[in-house]
Structure 1
Amino acid sequence: MDKVVLSLGMGVDSVGVLTRFLLEPETRDFKLDDLIVMTAMTGDEFTETAEHMERFILPLMRKFSVRYVQLSRGGPLASSRYAVLDDSRQPKRMHMVGPWRLRDEQLGNGTVPQFAHGKRICSVKSKADPLEWWKEDHLAGLTYQHILGFSAEEGHRILKDSTYTSASRRARFPLAEWGWTRADTLGYLHEVFGTTWPRSCCVYCPFAASDAEHLADRWRREPKGAVLALLMERRAMALNPRATLFSRTSAVQFAIDHRLYRVLALAEEALRRETWALYDVRRIYHAAVDKKTGRRIPTKKGTAWRSVKTLSEGSRQQMIAELHRRARAHGTEAQADGFAIMRAQLCTPDPERFPTNERFLSVGPAGVHDKERRSFHSLWTRLADQTSLFMA
């Protein structure tokens, strides 16, 4: 009999599938001995997710002796692979944090979670990769059925995942087979457990703002997580003024709009305790590439390369003073933006011709790693020389 792998994201859909499989055996075509339930941890879920899992789902798993593998990514590099946090048919607790958290990536790079080319990059790195690596190590050469919790409304996700099916993997989408929408699954879980199942996501998930009132309530109940989101955004915006957590607003403005005054006060208190840094931020904006001809389009912006270097560390006041000193040395002035982030623009990019370059100094919480790709310096120098020649 083939193995069956159920990806348990701890949210409504996958929990609904597992619960019905266990309580209504006629809905499945396999023995529970062949089932492997797997979760990859980001390390930054809301605490109520773990609480619901431990109160309602783990007892069911123990009752039916379901194998539950809890993983996390082993480190930032692919060579770190994954860490097994627990592998048991009698799981006693949730292991929500591994040796690497998604926050390590975001805070160290001075970014917020990204969505590009139809992929949630953060989810791929923290969840999809370690799950795939584990399956490569433990299911190599075996065929298996892969159970995914895509609801009946998610035809586009089902169609997309179907393109990944291989000779060893056969995907199955029970909720779609049953015709269950998200509302149907929520209702089922409420009927079984007597509770409204919470959405599974990181405390700083950029997509959570789609249900603003729900997110505001969660941040109000778990202010520590909300503070992490605000601090992550603050660090990212020091390096990129457009790096708000949400696409339509910033995390800090979201907190203001929803009167999360305790969260704002705690975030400001945390910022006062931080070590601060003066950053030298440079960017090269390449010309876009015509997909048909492969040629550069000099009037259209393409990808951007970023270089970050920490110039100094100290208190917030010390770094602001240092920023003013360096700005004067470059013949310019430091200014605060609408988020009270101090910045001195040293080189302004040309918005109409590419490639072009940008450079500014800014003050923000310390901790962002110095980072620059190998060919950045030579290209930067060439662009700077061209600009100087043009200005002359």
Structure 2
Amino acid sequence: MDETVSPILISWGLGADSTRILVEFLEDPAAHGLTPDLRECVVIVALTGEEWPDTMDLAEQHILPLLARHNVRLVQVARGGPSDSDGIAVLSDTRTPSRLFRRGPWALSDELGPTGTVPQYASKKRFCSIKFKGWVMDQWAAREFGTIAYRHVIGYEANETDRAERDYTYASQTRRPWYPLIDWGLDRTQILQGLKERFGVVWPKSYCTMCPYPAVRASVDAHLARCRAFPELAAAVLRLESNAIALNSRSTLYRDVSLKQLLRNDGNTAALDAFERERSAAQWAVYEVRRVYFAGRSDHCRANHGKSCPRPGPWCREPLRKGPAWRSVRSIHHGTRAEVMQHLHDEGRASDSLVVTIDGVPRMRFAERGETYPTAEGFLVAAPAGMVDKQRGGFEAAWQKVTSSGALLLTT
């Protein structure tokens, strides 16, 4: 890095917002206070491994040649593995880029598949984005810049000042955020129009194939069009959602509707058929799933004990308020789909319990969740093999305590 100028790190998410910033910088550096040769700029792409192909193709076709022509440094990074201790992988670091990597050593689906989960979001935080993008870029910047202050360019639109305000709370002595689109007053319509005039295309939205946001925003029609264009990818995401629902019936990909229902409503038989073909050919397993639901903290407890209460008193827990939940998953039988289904029904007959199938998910419940907390539930479910056994320390003790306290009745 040239030490005569302050470095600028440009987060390129491949979508319209950050792409528009790149185009503006490349076409008129001086207008934005940059050196004519852009030697202070580093463009960084953090890869989740789950980007839609049309976004990648357009970026390769239109933007990589511009970066190469202007000799701008492009760095492609990804997580090195599931743990932060695995570090990051630098997939490419060049001033003459010709291709974008589709994934690194550890993709988002590598994490979701074995755990039987879909992306989680809460309190307006996009946890998968933080883990697979923000953390990765921060690690690279710390390694590259050390104690040198740098400007971090992020593509928030003019109407996204709330996101910019939240991001600005992460500013530091070294990281100094810059939101050019807000400075320029460019909204989504203006951004897309500028790119269309420059490249003759409507730039697609950049997000992961299993992102939980498109179906809760106005972009659902465009999202379904992508699912029609890439039915095999839609089927792969449907597999993730189906496995998550098998372990937790409330784990639909989107907040109020499942991907499967959206694909049905859209008549996307290509994706649905691909999904069913894969399920039929897969190895299957019977999973034992147990959960313990703890009582939530009372207002009295929060007011008097602060953020945590490791030793609750008589008034610290509210039996009508749901608190944390612990889950145990264990595979107990493997085989073909037919063999696993037969085993599940045999278990049901042996314990005089019904196997109930809802939307293709067969379950046999052996512990019913109560109406007050703490409580617990348990069931056997048939689903494709591959989800890992997982149970936190202390689960068995908590399970025994809750199920033996009369909070619920075990049927086995």
TM > 0.5 between the two? yes
Q: Is 1:83 aligned to residue 89 of structure 2?
A: yes
| Residue of structure 1 aligned with 2:254, choices 246, 260, 266 | 246
Corresponding position of 1:63: 69
CA shift, 1:280, in A, is: 0.3
The number of aligned residues is 389
Corresponding position of 2:369: 349
In structure 2, how many angstroms separate the alpha carbons of the residues matched to 1:117 and 1:27?
38
CA shift, 1:262, in A, is: 1.1
Corresponding position of 2:294: 286
| Residue of structure 2 aligned with 1:26, choices 30, 35, 59 | 30
Deviations 1:252-278, CA, capped at 9 Å, x for gaps: 110110110111111111111111110
In structure 1, how many angstroms separate the alpha carbons of the residues matched to 2:253 and 2:196?
31
CA contact (8 A) 2:368 2:408 kept: no
In structure 1, how many angstroms separate the alpha carbons of the residues matched to 2:141 and 2:325?
35
In structure 2, how many angstroms separate the alpha carbons of the residues matched to 1:205 and 1:389?
36
Corresponding position of 1:171: 177
CA contact (8 A) 2:212 2:255 kept: yes
CA contact (8 A) 2:289 2:327 kept: yes
CA separation of 1:58 and 1:222: change in aligned 2, threshold 3 A: same
Give me the TM-score of the superposition, normalised by structure 2: 0.92
CA contact (8 A) 1:287 1:303 kept: yes
CA shift, 1:302, in A, is: 1.4
CA separation of 1:292 and 1:203: change in aligned 2, threshold 3 A: same
Q: Which runs of 5+ in 1 are unaligned?
A: none
| Residue of structure 1 aligned with 2:204, choices 198, 207, 211 | 198
CA separation of 1:63 and 1:377: change in aligned 2, threshold 3 A: same
CA contact (8 A) 2:374 2:407 kept: no
Q: Which amino acid aligns with 2:10?
A: L
Matches within 5 A, 1:85-234: 85-209=91-215, 210=217, 211-234=219-242
Q: Is 1:333 aligned to residue 354 of structure 2?
A: yes
Corresponding position of 1:305: 326
SS at match of 1:300: strand
CA shift, 1:81, in A, is: 1.1
Corresponding position of 2:309: none
Corresponding position of 1:263: 271
CA contact (8 A) 1:204 1:225 kept: no
SS at match of 1:335: strand
Corresponding position of 2:404: 385
Q: Which amino acid aligns with 1:30?
A: L
In structure 2, how many angstroms separate the alpha carbons of the residues matched to 1:104 and 1:189?
33
| Residue of structure 1 aligned with 2:16, choices 12, 18, 27 | 12
In structure 2, how many angstroms separate the alpha carbons of the residues matched to 1:326 and 1:37?
57
CA separation of 1:324 and 1:172: change in aligned 2, threshold 3 A: same
Q: Which runs of 5+ in 2 are unaligned?
A: 306-315
Q: Which amino acid aligns with 1:373?
A: R
Q: Which amino acid aligns with 2:173?
A: A
Deviations 1:230-268, CA, capped at 9 Å, x for gaps: 111111111011111111211111011011011111111
Give me the TM-score of the superposition, normalised by structure 1: 0.96
| 60-69 vs 328-337, greater mean Cα deviation | 328-337
In structure 2, how many angstroms separate the alpha carbons of the residues matched to 1:110 and 1:214?
27
| 210-219 vs 34-43, greater mean Cα deviation | 210-219
In structure 2, how many angstroms separate the alpha carbons of the residues matched to 1:309 and 1:327?
17
SS at match of 2:205: coil
SS at match of 1:358: strand
Q: Which amino acid aligns with 1:222?
A: F
CA shift, 1:388, in A, is: 7.8
